[in-house]
Structure 1
């Protein structure tokens, strides 16, 4: 993998460490952290600070009944969570989102495909497959979009993004991502609101593609 040059912002890493980052974005952050030593160190630092703050916070008394219930829960059997390991280009967090199965690609046209991993009122997570040289239609954003490259690379008005890099798009970003020459570009993308396409045809098809 090439050197990662586009990382997770510190404020977003702090939200992830505290468990306050919405699920779609947390999937992208977990995936990036699994590949990026620099951001793993940053996450560890945030977790250390959070632990220290908890140690220094005032203790809160609880009722005897609540304490008894909590102690009883310690005796409940613990079912270990499955451990999802990397499969090909897909890091463990993506394999977990796929439930250990291959992506279910759906064609969007012009060779572009997507596989929706999760979709709720709070946002969506999907894989995007973009053939080399193909562009994603010009668009802006109604909210926040995190796009992490898993294979290949793409370029837009803000620069070039290769494997491990994360692009963060907000309402101020209007761009036309184009997959670079070489391998098809496969990305993990998370959004909390629909995109804003500028051309008529993409806007017309948007409800069917759920993007």
Structure 2
């Protein structure tokens, strides 16, 4: 049962098509798991559609829409298809569209961070954000940190708890500079998350700050 959702502002931006690719990947992946946020997205889309219908017709605007439609249609044929290899058992938990991005990167490839933790940076066309998969061993914490920007964390498998709440599969935590926390994977199962950030984390530990650039955290 998903308890923690996207903000209305993020869902509205999704409906308007104004989210950068990194945020959109995190938000859309959550939407595939959350019927409540999908309903919210449809509501914002209906509102947007209503206001579009109320707009006064404009020949130049209509021509612009026709040109955009032509480009989209042509690009669908010009784009090279993604060749997907059979997914391993470890990749089966990845929902779309995240699974496609991981396929494009050559499959799930963990880079170990120490103490059993691992990450994979997921390439996107968005240079303003960093998207990563994180694996935190059961019962282990992420070192205490705050945030220089915004961080969206979506739980894909397992769960974690922090100073705010407990987050399970499908739950989203959106954190900013006002939150200092120590997320800890709950006992019994590794926690795998999708994290989107627009700035490096701010670790309390000097040791973590020394290794931060190496791991691009």
Q: Is the structural similarity TM-score above 0.5?
A: yes
CA gap 1:174/1:95 in 2 versus in 1, 3 angstroms: same
Superposed CA deviations along residues 55-111 of structure 1, whole A, max 9, x for unmatched, are 112333329xx67x8399388584298698x95110011102112653111011111
Long gaps (5+) in structure 2: none
Task: Tell me the equivalent position of 2:176.
Answer: 170
Instruction: Give the whole-Å Cα distance in 1 for the aligned partners of 2:153 and 2:134.
Output: 9
Equivalent position to 2:131, from 125, 133, 154: 125
Q: Is residue 10 from structure 1 mapped to residue 16 from structure 2 by the alignment?
A: no
16-25 or 26-35, which deviates more = 16-25
Structure-2-length-normalised TM-score: 0.86
Which of the two has greater strand per residue?
1
- Aligned to 1:98, the other structure's residue is in SS state helix
> Which residue, out of 89, 95, 98, partners 1:91?
95
Which ranges of structure 1 fall in alignment gaps of 5 or more residues?
Answer: none
SS of residue matched to 1:122: coil
State which of 154, 164, 173 in structure 2 corresponds to 1:148.
154
SS of the equivalent of 1:102 reads coil
Could you say what the CA RMSD is over the residues aligned between the two structures, in angstroms?
2.7
Tell me which protein shows more helix as a share of its residues.
2
Which residue number in structure 2 is paired with residue 106 of structure 1?
A: 111
- What SS class does the counterpart of residue 52 from structure 2 fall into? helix
- Measured in 1, the distance between the counterparts of 2:135 and 2:68 equals 49
Deviates more, 1:104-113 or 1:71-80: 71-80
Number of aligned residue pairs: 206
TM-aligned CA distance change 1:72 to 1:117, over 3 Å: closer
Q: Deviations over 1:32-57 (max 9, x none)?
A: 10011111111111111111111112
Task: Provide the rounded CA distance (Å) in 1 between the counterparts of 2:93 and 2:119.
Answer: 16
Q: Tell me which residue corresponds to 1:158.
A: 164
